[in-house]
Structure formats: structure tokens, C-alpha cells
Structure 1
Amino acid sequence: MSDSAVEEADLAAILRSGLAHHGAGRLDDAYACYASVLERDPLNPDALHLAGAVRLSQGATGEGVARIWEAVGQLPVFPQAWNSLGLGLKAQGRLEPAIACLERAVEQAPEDAPLLCNLGGALWDAGRTGEATDALRRACALAPDMVEAQVALGRVALALGQGGEALACYNAALALQPGRLETLAGLGAALLLAGDPVAAEAMLRRAGAAAPDDPGIGTDLGRALQAQGRVDEAIAAFGAVLARLPDHLPARLHLGFALQARGEALAALDCFRAAVAAAPALPPAQMALAVALAGQGLWPEALASFDAAAALRPDDPAAHMGRASALQMLERRAEAAEACRAALALQPGLAEAHASLGVILQELGELEAAVASHRQALTLRPDLVDERCSLSHALRDLGALDEAAAQARIAVSQRPGKGFAHASLGFALLAQGHVDEAEASLRMAASLPAEGPEQRTSAGMIRLLLGDLPGGFADYEARWLRPSMAANPIRSAGPAWDGGQIAGRSILVYCEQGLGDSIQFLRFVPEVAARGGRVLLAVQPELAALAASVPGVAQICPLDQGVPAFDLHCPLVGLPLALGTTLDTLPAETPYLTVPANRLAAWADRLRPAPAPAGLGLFRRQGADRSRYLRVGLAWSGSRDHGNDRNRSLPLHRLAGVLAAPGCTFHVVQKDVREADMRALGQIEGLVDPRGLVGDLADTAAIMQQLDLVISVDTAPAHLAGALGRPVWVLLPAVPDWRWLLRRADSPWYPSARLFRQKQAGDWDGVLAEVAAALAELASARL
């Protein structure tokens, strides 16, 4: 044998000795053997690789990686070395170079299951889910008896929510190695995912017996108990984990979920806050906190957490849908619509996103687009009854009355016990002019339990529309759960008055809705004062001067000037509930507002039928003496921000027939005139527009006192005329606001009112023809 052959045999023997030490865990002895070889053969690829592998095992990853790079430099086709190099780079956190090395190893040894298993693990860590799953499946197919591959694939399937595959993998691993802890724990989690919490509990208890302090096993056991409805035991299991490891986030999160299930919402919220404080970059923690905050109506905070979750997981449709809900509740509707679209870009078939988008578009007045979204949602999920009701409402607003009713009937047939469905049908029938059928449906809706605060608020308005003031106002209190209402600072500044003893105490009675509502409910203030309360009345600045005339007001407080200290508070709209008012006991005496004498005198002079003083130039008058003409105030449109403005307001040109009535002069009594109407206003001969001299509602009231009649759509001037006891004709859509009730041509709220109702939704021509005829008859009697 030659000297070189002897040398080679000697080195091989030293390597075998090193491998024996290596396999026995005697790493220092193994490294000494490999170093001995390298002293005699510095470029020996096997020795370089094995020496590097020892260093990796000892934690000296830099030296280990450097050695293995030398090995593959000497022998490029060396799959085991490429594998070791990949694992070393992965240990350094250099995932992409690690994956490249592991892929090189698999290219060189495509049938090697352990190499595929290592590659799958690295791909998974890099978030390359599909490739990781493929690699691990190949490893299991090549070596079905390789426990590590089965467990690795089971772990991945579990994380992906693929319960069937996870069960198969862990069961295979358990058959190969029955006592392996990771297999027992993984199988328990897989059984839980597959919907078998009883079997999961049994498996997790086996795992827990082997590792009683393992936090993952303890947390999964708690989840299995909760899934069986054993919430108290689940809470105890999570608590045991947290007693050992207070910072264990999965246990903290699941404790929060269990507390929610037990009805302890605030304690759950504390858990989620703690989880987010510990790990603000953990998407499930942010989502759990966001949902809990939303459940408490804390929408600004909820939005912040949904925003954080969406930033952390921009590919998660649920985070975008959470943002949409929060933005909608905060009345940031355009942003809410964009959040829905973001969710749909990720998951086009998400019916709930189409449904939410439809509702938001409806609120934005984009009815055609809303209908399209509602239809898409129902194509995907025909069982969404709320969505069908929303489609009915949008179709009604569009004037598609027959289909609106048809969709509502389907909703009723799908959920006969759902009040919202009967309400939708009632409003659709009302829009069609079928008042008797509509009332029957609305009464059915009012008799059924409401689902959530919004539907309870709507149920309250239905009861009010039907004349049930006590029940209606009680349900209407649910409006305070809306974020825009709950944020009212007055409500948190002191106790609310519920109608109890008030003598000798101050009460802040305040407006929380529009001007018309404030005017309507001022009638209740004298009764509060009569019960001994010192009434501090907080109203809109433009109403302050007039509201000061209400009997019993101790102090008027324009809202733009803040409010004084008080003992109790009650919103104006809440007074009928606190006072126990019914339709029969409604205080309907008018006037209950008095115009200041100086305003009356000033406007009596300004509106005197004689020609206007030289230089005033405000009013255009015909030369004839009109002292016997009927003076008529007109209000044809209200605020665009009103939720039903599309149906209640009119363009001025639609009143041409009314304005043509002989023997009448007309006066503008609304505050704002829209741009399109301004052009028409300038073309109407004899129409007086005094708005340039109107400072507040006391001026408008003074004008009305000079008039014989006010004709108004359902907006503040109608209420003002009624509160002053002036004759007022109110023009109402087919589906009126609750305060105008059904069928009646009169109003229990305003004895001086006459109501003109649409016979069918959108039929203003019929209403205006009736008004024009009645006006002509009234004017002719005057002449």
C-alpha cells in the first residue's frame, strides 16, 4: 500500500472516530478529530463540513458557517453540507440565503426526506406558506415513517386551519412514536380544530401529564374546555398558565375570550389591553381588543386598534371590515366605503363586505350603487335577511316600490319572527299607499323583539308612528348607544332625570337633535318647572331668544356658550318619557312660544303692504294694494344632512302651481336656499325673500306672526309655525316621520296644522295640486 493510501485510510479512520463521538454527543472530542484531519488535509471537505456542524451545535454559528462555506467551495455537489449551511444561516436569521442553500441541497438530493423537511421549515418561517407545505408533503410521501416530517407538516396544517391534514399527520406520528410530547400536544390541538373538543381534552391531558408546566398545552386545554361550554374550568386553566407565566400572550388572549363568554366584558377588555400593551405588533391581540372595544361602543379606540391590525396584516379582510364598521359608526362613511372595498379586493366573494358597502352607500345617498352591492351580497348569501331588508329600503328610496315590497315579503318569509323584516314590509307598503296593510305590518314589527340598539331605536320610531308614545320613547332611548350620541359630554357630567323627585334641584334640559325637534319638545318644559325643578335650558344659539319665552325657564343657555353646573340633566326629546306622556295627555296648547315685542314691531313695519321705503331695495312688490291678499310663508326644503331629505324636500320650481294661486303673496321662511333654487327665486314675481334681515328664529317667528298661513315641508319652519299657533300646512312624504302619525290630516302636536300626505311615494304632484286648490279656495274667501 502506498504512503498516500495509508494516509487516506488513516484520515478516514480519524473521521469515523469523530463521527462516533459526534453521534454520541461528545462534541469536543468530535471536533478534535475533525481538527486533526484538517491539520493534515486543510481542504478536506468532509472534515470542514463536520467541524462546521459541530460549531453550529455549540452555538458558534459564525465559525460554523465559515467552515461549511469552505466545504462546499471544495466540493460543490455536497447536499449534506448545503443542508448544514442552510441551517446555520437560518440560525443567524438570514432566511433567504438559508433557503437558497437548502434548495441547492434538495436539487442535489431530491429524494432526501430530511433535506425536504428542513427546506419546508425554512420556507414556513419566511412566510412562503404554499412552498413550505409542498416541501413537507413531499418529505412525508418519500418517508412516511419519518416522525419529524409528519410532525412538521401537522404543525403547518394546524397553523393554516387545515384540521383534516393536521389530524392525519399527528395520528401517523403518534403511531410511529406513541409517547412523543409534541405529537400528543399537536394532536390535541388538531382535534380541537376539527371540532372534537372532548377527544382534544383527553389528548391534551395526556400531554399535560408529561409536561404539566407547558404553557401551550395548558392554553389549548383551556380552549378545549371552553369549546365544551365549561367556561369556569377554562378560565381556571388559563389562570393556571398565567400564574406561572404572566406574560404568556395566548393564555392572556384566550382568558379574555372566556371572560367574554361568561359575560364579563370589562374584565375581558382589560385582558386584551394587557395583551396589546405586551405585544402591540401581534395582529390577533389588536383584533381582539378592537372587537371588545367595539362591543362596548368605544368606537374611536376600536378604530385605532382595527387600524393597527390592518397595518400589521394588510391581507386580512376581517381587519378592513372592522375598520369599515368603526368608521361607519363614527359617521365617516366615505372612508368606511373604502375600507369595505379594501376587504373586497382581498376577498371578492365576501358577502358581508358587499352588504356593509351597500348600507354605507345608501347612507351616502348613492342609491343605485347601494342596490348593486345589496344584490351582490344576496347572490352570494341569499339567507342574509338584514341585507334583503336593506335592499328593500334602497329600492323604496329609488322609487322601485313593487320590488321593494317583494324583497321585504321574502325577508318576512325567511324570518317571520324578525321585526326588521316586518318593518321593511310596512314601510314598503306605506310607500305604495297601502296604509291598512302597512299599519298591520308595522304593528307586527313593534310586537317583536328588536335585535341590537339600531333596530331597537327603529322599533321605537315605529311605535311612535303608531301613536304609542310611552313604548316608543322607551325604545328610542337606545339611540344613546350610537357613538355620535354617546359622546355627548352632558351625559357624563351628572345623573340623568328619570321623572323622579326634582323639587329644589336644578335640571339641565338640553337639545340633542335638530331645530325642529327642539321646538317640538319645548312644550314639556313648563311641566318640569311645575314639579319644582329649576330649569336651565340649553338650546341652539339661533333658538335661544325665542326659547327664553317658554314659561318656567330659569336660565337660557345657548350651546355655543357652554352650560352651567346642574344637579340633573334630561334631553328635550327625553322629557315625554320622564313625564309619562301619552297621546291623550300630550300638552298641545299653543302658542307656547312668544315673540319678543321689539321683533314683532320691527317686522310688522318691514312687511306692511305699502311700498317699501326708498333705498331699502329688499322686496319687490306690485303696485296694487294687497292688503286683502293672503300672506303665505313658504318652506320647501330643509337641511341636506337630514337622513330623509331626499324624500321630504322639494325644488322650488315644483311649487309653480301653488305660487300661481290668485290672491296670495308669498314669503320665504326657511333659512337656507339651495343654489338651483336661488336662480328660480329671482324669477318669481312678488315672492318676498326677507332672509337678509333674519338673524335668528325669533325673526322668523316675527315674520310668521305677520302671515295668514305657512306652507312647509317637514322641517323646522313647520314646527315653529305650529308652536306659535299659526295656521300651517305640512307637506308629507308617503312614509312620514314618526311625529305625524298615520292617516290623520290633523296633528295632536299642533292643533293649527293641516297635513297633506302623498298617496304614494314620490307623488308630490298630487299633494301640490291639493294644496293649490285649497289655497285658491282660502284666498278667494278672503277677497
Structure 2
Amino acid sequence: MATIQDALAAAVRHHQSGNLAAAARLYRRILEITPEQSDALHLLGLVARRAGQGGAALRLMIRALRIDPAIAEARLNLGNLLRDQGHAAGAEAAYRNAVALRPDFAAAYENVGGLLRGLSRPADARDAYRRAIRLSPAGSEGHAGLGNVLQEGDDLQDAVASYARAIAIDPTNMAVCNNLGIALRSLDKTGAGAEAATAWHRRAVALNPYFAAGYSSLGLALQELGRLEDAAHAHARAVAVDPGFAGGYANHGNARLNQNRLIEAVTGFRRAVAIDPAGPDARRNLGMALLVGGRFEEGWREYEWRLRCKDAPAQAAMPKPRWTGEPPDGRRILLHGEQGLGDSLQFCRYVPLVAARGGRVILGVPAPLKRVLAGLPCVERVVSGQLGTDDFDLHLPMLSLGEVFGTQMDTIPHRVPYLSAEPDLVARWGERLKGLARDGGGLKVGIVWAGSPTHGNDRNRSIGLAPFARLAAIPGVSLVSIQKGPTEGQAANPPGGFPLLNLSPDIKDFADTAAIMANLDLVVCVDTSVAHLAGALGVPVWVLVPFAPDWRWMLDREDSPWYPTMRLFRQERPQHWDDAIDRLERALCERAASLPLRQNGASDMPILAPVSWGELLDKITILDIKTERIADADKLANVRREREALLAVAVKADTARPEVAELIDGLRAVNTTLWEVEDEIRDCERAKDFGPRFVELARQVYHTNDRRAALKRDLNRLLGSELVEEKSYQAY
């Protein structure tokens, strides 16, 4: 060995060239000769860190600083080691000591910024990065780090500028190229942002073909552009280069879910969960994939992970115990909304079930829902805004009610209406709608063409007002705007000037919307809260559903198990509404044509025969059974048309009362039995088998019909029917 300094210089050359083993040997020989050589201790500590020997590295760094406390670089690297081991306070102190020793030490400020960003102290992190940039404007790390903080704070324009400056300094930084793409995609949701982002993500993976996060970001950008198959391939490449990348599997699952390829989606989510069982996003998305496929038991359970996601509502964490379905014994249960308005409208149906278990129900919902939910049976109080902790005993997010009650497809509380409009409001809005229908009669159809623009899927579900011009041209159809939100102004000047009664400006909240719906024949809307309101009121409603639907609309069906009066018109291809609107237009033409015109001849008048409530509800339960059991499309269309017409009358009865609901359930069960008995009797007839089983079935018919008559009689009594059906048979 020449001199210690010559040996140290040789070791540093090996270190810088990546020959760490040779560097370590020289550092150790130096320390054998000069144990107090602080530079060798410091640099050997860096080698140990690179080798994953954090404890040894930390000991070497501390020894170096005891010998020479003024080595600013060693203070910086001590901070890095402490940060590696989760000692944030110690790391920050080490970085601060480094800049105290060297006030122009830009790298120390950069590391302070990174640490503070990780500690969710964005303002302090910004200050640190800006100080680093002032000290070293030509350093790319300061600009890149500032871009990260700005992006996380949604200051996207400035984030893009910071990333661009970092790339101008170092065009080979794959991470910054990737982050610039992410910022561009978030900044511009029109599609142009995703197009620009795609180029940057491709550049990132070109710089490093093994950059898994870059492939995953590319997949997300392609997904926004509607290039779902390309997106899935990009996510598959991400997990191919990094099989332990949970986010890559989850993103691949999302791409497949958007293609309605449920088996592959579920597989992707399960792989993500296997790698990271505590990752809430993959588990929430697994829950949604299972729910859309009708696998409710596991779906509800996994969907509960939504409450741990970053975008979970603040009220998901409450100071009172969560209700888990145990007997409440008269305790006050706060059921609170957590996502959109439609979710509250959908899940408030469970309120009578909670009350039936002994709970005193308080509903916590946004202000626009307060009036319309005030009349919900079994609700003690409806509140919006803050509620004192002394005002309730237990709580539950409303979307957790499905899991608490173990809801399955055949146990969905699907009876409607469970909400009702205020009679005075119905009368007031009825005056506005008088004389609306054209051609001497016709259909009054309420329309909604857009949801909230802040909704994550709004680009796929909202369609604009223009497509409704085709519906306005149908003879016998009058359109009414009940749209609310940023796009409601379009109703004042419809595209092409088609006729449209604009009620939107005067609608204050959902109570007004409900009262308008009570005066309409049909609601046609996109997938938004209005669809849920119409369904809850038992109003006929046709919903335009995007290709990859929200979980509650499921797949491959035109009806909804949640809302008996709802009909779904689905996109056949992503981003293309023409087919769905064509089908809806044809259906509306048929519906309008089937209405009798109001002329002078008696034969042209509609048949309006008064019946008892029991008879009407009995007929509706039979139609319910037919919708489940008839496969022929033409017959099913007739059944649904008849059912919708009868439900429009049935909404006037208080069928949500628990004792009434129980009788309706009994009628449905009785009529199901009669359906099955009739099938068996016909089997016997075909086989010419008139033996004991045939006799037993024949006897079952009149026994079951007697039970049916008793149920109808009880319904007439409870609902105060003026007409009462009577039977007179000899006793048996």
C-alpha cells in the first residue's frame, strides 16, 4: 500500500465504478492500519447500506461522526440510514445538522423535502425543495421532488412545470418522465391529457424496459383513452417484469373489469390481495367485481374495505361503536351516507329492517335528501351536517347494510315504493304540468342527461342533452327537464330547439323532484341519483347504463333486482351510445303507440276498471313471478308493460308499512306455489297420470287459493280499500 490517501482514492474509484467488493476490501485494510480514519468508516458504511446491512452501516456512520462530527455528507447519510429504519425524527435532525454544517448543501434540503413529504407535511416539504432549487438550480432532483409535492396537492399545472424543468436537466430520469405523464393525465380529463401522458409513459419504459410502475401508468393512460385491451397488455407487462407488484395485478383486474371480463378481473384482484392482503383498494375492487357478478356474500365482505381506502369519507370513522347486526335493544343507530346521493336513496330501504330488529333509526344524509327521506317509515330523525356524539349510540355506513343483513339476490328488499312524494308538492307541480301532453294525450317523460362531473366515471355515464331530441320527435311524447347541476342550463336552449318543458331552475331538492315524478308517466335518465329516486318511488324509469356498469346494475340483464319498475338500456360497446338510444327510442315509440288516443268514440277510451287494493297487489305479485320465469322476449316485454302500468297505480298505497309488506310477501309466496302446482298438474295431464299425486295437487289448488283470498282480504282491511272482494264456498 502506498499512502492511506492513495489507498482511499483507489477505494473510492472502485466504489464509484460499482465494484463494491473491491472498495470494501480497501476500506477495511485502511481501517486495520488506521482505525480512526473517518472517511473510510463513512464510505464503508455506504457500502454496507448498499448491501442491505442497515445495522452495520449505522454503526459505521456513527463511529465516523464521533471521530469527525463536522462531516456534512456523513450527517446526510446518517439521516438516510435512520429514514430507512423508520426513525423519521432522527433522520430529520441529521439532515438539519448537515445543512447547519453546510448551508449550501442542496442534497440535504432535497432529502429533507423527501422525508417531510412522506410525513404528510407538504408545506414544509415544498419549502425544503425550493431552498434546494435556489442553491442548485441545475440539479434535477429538487425540481422532481417539488413536482411530486405539487402533484399530491393537486397543483397540477405547477407540477407539470417542475417535472419539465427536471427532464430538461436530466432527460434520462425514467421516474420523472412517468410522473409527468401522471400529472398530465390528471390535469386534462378530456382525453388529450391521457394522450400526452401515453407518450411520456412510453418514454419511461423505453429508458428502462424493466420499469414496472411505468408499464402500469401506461396502462392507466390507455384505459382512459378507451383502449382497454392495450391497457390490459401494459398491466400484464408490469407484472411480468415484477411478479411481486401488487398494484400491477390490481390495475390489470381493473382493466378486465372495464371489459366486463369478470373471471380475469377477479383473478387479478385476488393475486394483488395475495401479495398485499392489507391493501384496501384491491380488496374493495374485488368486492365490486364479485357484486357485479351476483356473488353477494363474499362481495359484501370485500366491499367493506372501501372504508379503508384513501378516498373513504371522513365519517367512516366514528366515535361510537359500529352496529354489526346484534339486537339494538332500543339504542339509537345513526345510518349515514358515505358516497353519492344515489347510494343513500338505494340503501335507505333497509331502515324498516333495522327498526324491526329494535333499533331507533337516525338518518344522516346530505341536505338535498333531507326532505324526501323525512317521510320514510320507521325513521326517528333525519339530519344533515354535524350530529353531536350524545345524539346516537351506534353507527353504520349505509352501504354496509347489505353485508350486515347478509343480502343475497333473492333477499334484496325490492318492494317499492319505499319513498313517497309530499301530496301538497305533488299538487303544486301537477299544476305546472297541466296541459303539457301533445296530440290530445300522450306520455309525460322526465329526462336527466348528466350526473355530477366530479364523479370518477362521469365521462362514461353522462351523454348530454342532444340525443334526447330523437325522443322529443316521437308522436305522443312530451319531455320534461328534471336535470340539476352544472349542465341544467342546456334545457333553456335545447339543441335544435326541440320542445322541452324546463322545470330544472325551480327544483330546490329531491322532494321537488319526487313530486314532479309523481306527475310523470316515465323517467328516462343516465346512471345517476335520479334513477334511484324514481326506482324508490315505484315510478317507471328507463336507465342508460354504460358498457362497464356500476356494480349494482350487474351484467346481461334489462331489469334490476333492486328496483322492480326499472328497465336498463345498456351500451353494447364502450363510449358508443347509439345502440342503446336506438333501443330506447323504439321502446318509447311502442309505449306511446300503445296508449289509446283521447277521441270521442267509446271504443277509443282506456279501460279503467276499479279494483280492490288486494286484487291489484295480487296481480302485481303474479307479474313479478312472470318477469322471473318467462324467457320469451316478446312475452316478457308485454309482462313488463302491464306491470309498470299497475305499479304506477300501486304507488298510491302505503305498501312500505311492515305489516302490509309482510302480507305482500305472503301473496308472492302463495302465487309462486300456485305457479308450481299448475306446472305439475300439466305434467300429470301430459302423462295421463291421474293418480294420487294428481288428486293431491288438485286439492292443493283450492287450499292455496283460500290462503290467497285471506291475504287479499287482510290487505284490503289494512289499506282501507273501498272495494272488497268476497268469496263464498262450501266448507271442506
What is the TM-score when the length of structure 2 is the normalising length?
0.68
Secondary structure of the equivalent of 1:755? strand
Whichever residue aligns with residue 350 of structure 1, its letter is N
Aligned partner of residue 272 in structure 2, secondary structure? coil
Partner of 1:368: 195
Which runs of structure 2 are paired with 1:276-675 in the superposition (5 Å)?
Answer: 299=120, 301=121, 303-314=122-133, 328-364=151-187, 365=189, 366-401=193-228, 403-408=230-235, 410-411=237-238, 435=260, 438-450=261-273, 451=276, 452-485=279-312, 488=314, 491=317, 493-500=319-326, 502-559=328-385, 565-609=391-435, 624-626=439-441, 629-672=442-485, 674=487
**How far 1:532 moved relative to its partner?**
2.7
Shift of 1:249: 8.7
Deviation by residue 1:621-644 (Cα, 9 ceiling, x = unmatched): 86x533xx0111111111211111
- Tell me: higher relative CO, structure 1 or 2? Use CA pairs within 8 A at least 6 residues apart: 2
Number of residues of Structure 1 aligned to a counterpart in Structure 2: 579
Q: Which amino acid aligns with 1:599?
A: L
Corresponding residue for residue 773 of structure 1: 586
**Matches of 1:324 and 1:376 in 2, distance apart?**
18
Partner residue of 2:576 out of 763, 771, 780: 763
Aligned-partner SS, 1:313: helix
Aligned residues: percent identity?
A: 34
CA distance, structure 1, for counterparts of residue 47 and residue 238 of structure 2: 38
Q: Which runs of 5+ in 1 are unaligned?
A: 1-143, 224-247, 261-267, 611-620
- Label 1:524 to 1:147 Cα distance change in 2 as closer, same or farther (>3 A): same
Aligned twin of 1:181:
36
Supply the AA of the counterpart residue of 2:177: H
For 1:423 and 1:199, the matched residues in 2 are separated by: 34
For 2:97 and 2:52, how far apart are their aligned partners in 1? 32
Matches within 5 A, 1:18-417: 145-148=2-5, 151=8, 153=9, 164=19, 171=26, 174=29, 178-179=33-34, 181-182=36-37, 185-186=41-42, 188-189=44-45, 191-192=47-48, 195=51, 197=53, 254-255=81-82, 257-258=84-85, 260=86, 268-269=87-88, 271-272=90-91, 299=120, 301=121, 303-314=122-133, 328-364=151-187, 365=189, 366-401=193-228, 403-408=230-235, 410-411=237-238
Report if the CA contact (8 A) 2:116-2:125 is conserved.
no
**Bigger-Rg structure (1/2):** 1
| C-alpha separation in 1, matches of 2:236 and 2:323 | 42
Change (3 A) 1:422 1:269: closer
Partner AA of 2:453 in structure 1: R
Q: Distance in 1 between matches of 2:542 and 2:11?
A: 74
Paired position in structure 2 for 1:31: none
Measured after TM superposition, the shift of residue 462 of structure 1 is: 2.1
- Correspondence for 2:550: 737
Q: Deviations over 1:219-274 (max 9, x none)?
A: x9xx9xxxxxxxxxxxxxxxxxxxxxxxx99767745533x4xxxxxxx4554566
CA distance in 1, matches of 2:428, 2:480: 16
In the alignment, the residues of structure 1 paired with residue 230 and residue 341 of structure 2 have an alpha-carbon distance, to the nearest angstrom, of 35
2:286 and 2:106 map into 1 onto residues whose CA distance is 37
Q: Give the secondary-structure state (helix, strand or coil) at the position aligned to 1:535.
A: strand
Q: Which amino acid aligns with 1:726?
A: V
| Cα distance, 1:778–1:441 mapped onto 2, change above 3 Å | same
Deviation at 1:176, TM superposition (A): 11
Q: What is the identity, as a one-letter code, of the residue corresponding to 1:643?
A: G
Aligned-pair distance for 1:515? 1.4
Q: Distance in 2 between matches of 1:292 and 1:467?
A: 45
SS of 1:730's equivalent in the other structure is strand
Deviations 1:409-453 (A, max 9, x none): 545655678776566566656766xx5xx1221232243233433
Cα offsets for 1:594-636 (capped at 9, x unmatched): 21222112112221226xxxxxxxxxx86x533xx01111111
How far the C-alpha of 1:758 sits from its partner, in A, is 1.1
How far did 1:279 drift? 7.8
**Amino acid in structure 2 at the alignment position of 1:467:** G
Write out per-residue CA displacement over residues 160-217 of structure 1, whole angstroms, 9 at most, x where no aligned residue: 9666599659938956992352165256336425638599789969x97xx9975989
Cα drift, residue 715 of structure 1: 1.1
Aligned CA distance change for structure 1 residues 323 and 513 (closer, same or farther; 3 Å):
farther
> CA 1:477 to 1:174, structure 2 compared with 1: closer, same or farther past 3 Å?
same
Kept in 1: contact 2:151–2:159 (CA 8 A): yes
Does the 8 Å contact 2:11/2:22 carry over to 1?
no
Residues 409 and 533 (structure 1), Cα distance of their counterparts in 2 relative to 1, 3 Å cut: same
Tell me how far 1:700 sits from its aligned partner: 0.5
Residue identity in the other structure for 2:354: V
Cα distance in structure 2, aligned partners of 1:565 and 1:330: 36
TM-aligned CA distance change 1:356 to 1:518, over 3 Å: farther
- Aligned CA distance change for structure 1 residues 526 and 637 (closer, same or farther; 3 Å): same
Show CA shifts across 1:675-718 (max 9, x none): 88357527444311111221111000111111111111111111
Q: 1:275: how far off?
A: 5.8
What's the CA shift for 1:147?
A: 3.3
Deviation at 1:479, TM superposition (A): 3.6
Q: Say whether the 8 Å CA contact 1:633–1:707 is kept in structure 2.
A: yes
In structure 2, what is the Cα distance between the partners aligned to 1:541 and 1:563? 19
Contact 1:367–1:397 at 8 Å: present in 2 too? yes
- Structure 2: gaps of 5 or more residues: 597-732
Cα distance change, pair 329–464 in 1 and its aligned pair in 2 (3 A): farther
Which stretch shows the higher mean deviation, 345-354 or 766-775?
345-354
Superposed CA offset, 1:562-587 (max 9, x none): 88743333222233234433333322
AA matched with 1:383: Y
Q: TM-score, normalised by structure 1?
A: 0.64
Deviation per residue, 1:70-103 (Å, 9 max, x gap): xxxxxxxxxxxxxxxxxxxxxxxxxxxxxxxxxx
- For 2:184, give the aligned amino acid: L
Counterpart CA distance in 2 for 1:672 and 1:187 is 62
C-alpha displacement of 1:344: 3.3
Change (3 A) 1:768 1:349: same
Judging changes above 3 Å, is the alpha-carbon distance between structure 1 residues 733 and 421 closer, same or farther for their aligned structure 2 residues?
farther
CA distance in 1 between partners of 2:311 and 2:409 (Å): 29
The letter of the residue matching 2:41 is A
CA contact (8 A) 2:211 2:241 kept: no
**Kept after mapping to 1: 8 A contact 2:527/2:544:** yes
